[in-house]
Every structure is written in C-alpha cells, then in structure tokens.
C-alpha cells in the first residue's frame, strides 16, 4: 500500500522561535544586521550573527552562504544578491538549493527569517522552494536509518505580511502534494506501475473523496468502444491498456463547458517492434509522465478545495515488442473513425492520444490540453529548460505561456505549420500516418498529427471550428537524470506542469 504523501508542516509567525536551523536570506549591500535577525538568540550567538553580517567577508552576493554554529541552532546567512534583481524564480531556486543542503542531524525545525526588504510574493516563492525540494523516492531502498520524522517550517515576517504569506504557503504546500504525487508515479518502475495498476491507484485515491470520481475503462470496454489506437499500442504487452477518467465536482456546472486535460500514459516505451537502442532505455519508465501530471493535478485541485468541475483522461498502455504487438505497416482504426498507417511503432504516444483527444472532444470541453513525453525532437529544440507548447488557439496559448513564466514552468510557443499537417495526412493507404517524411521538425510533425484528432464544433458566430486545444510536449522537462540543472528536483520525475495547470484552472 502507498502511504499518503503529506508535505512538511508549514506555519507563519513573527520573530519568535529560533528553531534548530535558522535560515536568514539577506540582500546584498547591508552594512549592518537587519532588525529582527537576532531576536531570541542568546547574547553570543547574536554577536556572532551581527558581526558576520557587518564584516567585509560577507557581502550577500547570490549563492553566498555562511553557517554559524551555536549551541542549539545552526544559523545560515544566505546571500540573495541585489533586492532589485530578485525574481520569484531566483527566490524559489535558492530556497530549494538551501533546503537541499540541510541535514536532519541537528534537528528538524527550520525557521526562515525574512527581514528587511522581503515582499510577500518573494517570501512565498522562497518557501515554495523548500516545500518542492522536500521530496525523495526511497520506497525500494532498505535503508537502515532511524526516522527522524518530518521537517517543520516556520516562516517569520512582520505582522503586516503574516496573513497573506500564510495563505500563500498553505496553498503551495497543498499544490505540492499533487507535484509530489506526480513524481511518485513517474518514478515508479514499469514492473510495478503498469496500466492496470495506475487505474487501481486512481480508484483508491478517489475512495472516500466526495468531490472526485474515477472511472477505468479496461481492455474489454476499450474494444466495445472502438478505441483501437490505444489497444493496438498496448496489445503487445501482457499488461493490457486502459483509459482512466478523472472527474472533479462531477455534479456541478453540468450545463457549462469545462476544461479537459489529457495525458499520455505509456508506462514503458521500449519502442515496440521499432525497438529503441538500449542506452537510456530505463528512462522510458517515465513515458507516462503526462498521465502522472493529470493525476497530480487532480490531487492539487482537490487539496486546494477547487470548486469547479473539470475532466481528465489518461491513455495507459505499455509499448512492447511481442508476437502480439502491432507492427510497422499496420493500419489501425481509431475511436474517431479515422485510420492511422503505422510507420514506426515507437511513435506510439500520438496513437494513444488520438483516442484520448477524440474522447475529450465529446465531453463538451471549454478547452483541451494534452501533456505528453512525445518526442526526442523537442528535447533537441528546447533542452530541459522548457516544455514545447503547440496550440490551435492564440489566447489559450498566451495564457499558458504567461502562467508558465509566472510559476517557472516555462512553456515555449512553437508554431503549428500547415506543412507538417500535410505531411501527416499524406499516407497512401490511410487517413493519417504516424511518422513524418523525414526527421526534421519531429515535434511539429507530432503536433500536426494530434491536431487531426481535435473535434470541430459550431462557435458563437455559427462557424465550424476546432475546440481550443494546446499540446504540451514535456519530453525534456519531465525528468532529471543527471547533468541537468533543476534546483527544485534532485533526481527523476519532476512533476512538471502541475503548478502551471493548477494556476490556469483556478485563476478565474
């Protein structure tokens, strides 16, 4: 059984306790110790802090960190650079890095002292860095360590800011339960988390929660519904595919359009008959991060008490070679009625999404967003710094871009060029083909393919137009395997786009 993830306990107060670990983030150019920095410390500790801050040796430059050891409390003076240069990203990342450097050896009570110059949004981001980084995936390690219990965190600020800051940090830690859940799912090995198991966990999660509903369509049901794109991808594995429906507040707003979020859930992508090379193939256990983000998002929305209705769909399959696997050259039927010529069984994500996206179109959505670790090409284009953002709707795309910047889950707009759609619809024997004509623009080819499965409907002007849709290619941002730089994640699944989508959905 999975234990429920809870985040570190976070509270806000004035400058009272000192904790076992006291972090004092400071700006550059201080000539003397700010008010409140030393409240509650003993005489000698106070003197040590004051003289460190005013000494020439300490400048408050970004990344500079000075530790002062006193009897009951380890004090960390952390440089944050010039106040005018501080952004939420710098603040969050430095909070995360600071947290990563802590050890429970000296106690688990952290106090962060926000003294002169700190505003609520920057304090909230700094604290969020601590919360997000407080994550490990150790369930398969037999570590012989005594459990020192969870961290607790107190954010200290002046009275005037306490209420607002408290609201923000409580929200951050609620959302983080979703981020951490998405990481847990992403980090699970493929022999432990396969389509049916994902469905089981979703059902278990929904149990006892009045505002959520989960439904799983198994292999039989998929066949009855005609979802052969999902079936074909998954039928080569002994773990059969399924589709999971997430519904938050299903009884509310039943006559209005609400968002639908769709996730690619390939629990392992071997490439199938078009098998991948062995280098780095283990990372393909993460090929279900789109579905992990959807699950994590629903947890985040639930934990923050979101009142609106929202739909989620995850397309779960394992892409394996076997005597029963689909092959290059096959033509498959999809839920939409369109046929796909399979040119490469490793371009499987787009196939499973074809059925998920068409289904999403039936749910009267205000917009559809899909998340998928879809192409190696997007990693070539954007590295690990940004998610690729494709859309048929400028206003939706702009909103996503803007929020991505705000929460530092950057989503970079890529063009939807007609030439790529043309490539993907130029099969000689089927309606669409699952691979383009060459290797150039692979991420755009994939997006051009997906667009064929977005339904049209009449808009308010009486025109027949496609439902607003955005596709997030998270192949480069879903995982940290070494070398990459991501302050808020140590290793493995990142939980990317839970925070972005949570803000997008809740901001109105």
How near is the Cβ of 380 to Mn ion at its closest, in Å?
15
439 catalytic residue (yes or no): no
According to CB under 5 A, which one of 93, 269, 318, 421 is a site residue for Zn ion?
269
3-state DSSP call for residue 289? helix
d(CA 414, CA 330): 30
The residue (of 350 and 401) whose beta carbon lies closer to Zn ion is: 350
Residue 341 sits in the site that holds ligand BES (CB under 6 A):
no
Q: With binding defined as CB under 6 A, does residue 377 bind ligand BES?
A: yes
Is 442 a residue that touches Zn ion (CB under 5 A)?
A: no
Q: Supply the minimum distance, in Å, between the C-beta of residue 374 and Zn ion.
A: 7
Q: Interface with Zn ion includes 473 (CB under 5 A)? A: no
Nearer to ligand BES, 356 or 468 (CB): 356
Give the integer Cα–Cα distance in Å for 314 and 317: 10
- Catalytic residue, from 104, 276, 338, 437: name it: 276
Q: How far apart are CA 10 and CA 111, in angstroms?
A: 10
Under 8 Å between Cβ of 180 and 139: no
Burial class (CB in 10 A: 0-12, 13-18, 19+), 140: exposed
Q: Does 379 bind ligand BES (CB under 6 A)?
A: yes
| Closer Cβ to Zn ion, 349 or 361, answer by number | 349
Q: How far apart are CA 380 and CA 103, in angstroms?
A: 37
Chosen residue from 241, 272, 349, 448 binding ligand BES by CB under 6 A: 349
The site that binds ligand BES (CB under 6 A) totals a number of residues, namely 16
The answer to whether 346 contacts Mn ion (rule: CB under 5 A) is yes
Interaction of residue 349 with Zn ion, rule CB under 5 A:
yes
The DSSP letter of residue 98 is H
Count other C-beta atoms under 10 Å from residue 179's C-beta: 30
3-state SS, one letter per residue, for 486-504? CCCCCCEECCCCHHHHHHH
Helix (H) or strand (E) holding 405: helix 394-407
Q: Out of 350, 401, 433, 499, pick the active-site residue.
A: 350
Shortest Å distance, C-beta 280 to Mn ion:
13
Residues 377-403 as b or e (16 or more Cβ within 10 Å = b):
bbbebbebebbbbbbbbeebbebbbeb
* Nearest in space to 8 (alpha carbons), one of 132, 93, 123: 132
Cβ–Cβ under 8 Å, residues 451 and 457: no
By CB under 6 A, what part of segment 240-279 binds ligand BES?
269
Minimum distance from CB of 18 to Mn ion (Å)?
53
- The binding track of 428-447 with respect to ligand BES, each residue x by CB under 6 A or -, is -------x------x-----
Q: How far is CA 464 from the centre of its chain?
A: 33
Based on the shown chain and the rule CB under 6 A, indicate whether residue 475 belongs to the binding site for ligand BES. yes
Written as one string, the DSSP assignment of 325-344 is: S--TT-EEE-TTS-EEE-S-
Q: Is 240 part of the annotated catalytic residue set? A: no
- Nearest residue (beta carbon) to Zn ion: 269
Cβ 253 to Zn ion, closest distance in Å?
A: 34
d(CA 210, CA 128): 28
Told to check if 232 binds Mn ion by CB under 5 A, we report no
Compare residues 27 and 268 and give the one whose CB is closer to Zn ion: 268
287 binds Zn ion (CB under 5 A): yes
Contacts to ligand BES by CB under 6 A? 269, 287, 344, 346-349, 373-377, 379, 435, 442, 475
| Residue ranges in contact with Mn ion by CB under 5 A | 269, 346, 348
> Catalytic residues, which ones?
276, 350
């Amino acid at each position: 059984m999975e234990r429920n993830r809870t985040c570190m306990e976070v509270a806000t107060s004035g400058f009272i306790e000192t904790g076992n670990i006291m972090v004092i983030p400071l700006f550059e150019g201080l000539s003397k110790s700010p008010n409140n920095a030393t409240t509650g410390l003993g005489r000698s500790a106070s003197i040590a802090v004051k003289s460190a801050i005013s000494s020439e040796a300490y400048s408050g430059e970004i990344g500079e960190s000075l530790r002062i050891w006193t009897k009951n409390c380890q004090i960390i003076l952390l440089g944050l650079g010039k106040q005018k240069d501080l952004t939420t990203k710098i603040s969050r990342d430095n909070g995360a890095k600071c947290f990563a450097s802590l050890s429970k050896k000296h106690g688990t009570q952290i106090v962060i002292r926000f003294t002169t110059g700190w505003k609520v949004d920057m304090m909230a981001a700094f604290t969020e860095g601590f919360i997000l980084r407080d994550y490990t995936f150790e369930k398969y390690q037999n570590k012989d360590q005594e459990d020192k219990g969870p961290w607790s965190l107190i954010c200290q600020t002046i009275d005037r800011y306490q209420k607002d800051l408290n609201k923000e940090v409580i929200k951050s830690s609620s959302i983080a339960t979703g981020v951490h859940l998405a990481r847990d799912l992403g980090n699970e090995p493929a022999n432990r988390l396969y389509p049916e198991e994902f469905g089981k966990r979703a059902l278990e999660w929904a149990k006892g929660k009045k505002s959520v509903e989960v439904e799983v369509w198994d292999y039989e049901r998929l066949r009855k519904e005609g979802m052969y794109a999902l079936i074909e991808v998954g039928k080569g594995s002994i773990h059969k595919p399924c589709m999971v429906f997430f519904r938050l507040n299903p009884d509310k707003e039943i006559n209005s359009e609400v968002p639908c979020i769709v996730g690619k859930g390939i629990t392992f992508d071997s490439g199938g008959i078009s098998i991948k090379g062995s280098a780095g193939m283990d990372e393909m256990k993460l090929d279900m991060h789109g579905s992990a983000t959807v699950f994590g998002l629903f947890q985040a929305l639930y934990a923050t008490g979101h009142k609106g209705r929202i739909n989620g769909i995850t397309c779960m399959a394992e892409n394996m070679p076997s005597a029963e696997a689909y092959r290059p050259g096959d033509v498959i039927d999809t839920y939409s009625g369109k046929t796909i010529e399979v040119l490469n069984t490793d371009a499987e994500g787009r196939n499973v999404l074809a059925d998920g996206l068409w289904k999403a179109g039936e749910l009267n959505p205000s917009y559809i967003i899909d998340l998928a670790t879809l192409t190696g090409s997007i990693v070539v284009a954007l590295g690990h710094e940004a998610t690729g953002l494709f859309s048929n709707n400028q206003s939706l795309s702009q909103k996503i871009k803007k929020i991505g910047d705000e929460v530092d889950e950057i989503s970079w707009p890529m063009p939807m060029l007609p030439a790529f759609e043309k490539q993907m619809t130029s099969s000689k024997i089927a309606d669409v083909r699952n691979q383009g004509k060459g290797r150039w623009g692979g991420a755009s080819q994939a997006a051009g393919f997906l667009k064929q499965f977005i339904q049209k409907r009449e808009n308010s002007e009486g025109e027949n137009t496609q439902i607003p849709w955005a596709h997030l290619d998270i192949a480069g941002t879903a995982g940290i395997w070494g070398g990459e730089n991501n302050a808020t994640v140590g290793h493995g699944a990142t939980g990317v786009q839970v925070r972005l989508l949570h803000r997008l959905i809740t901001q109105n």
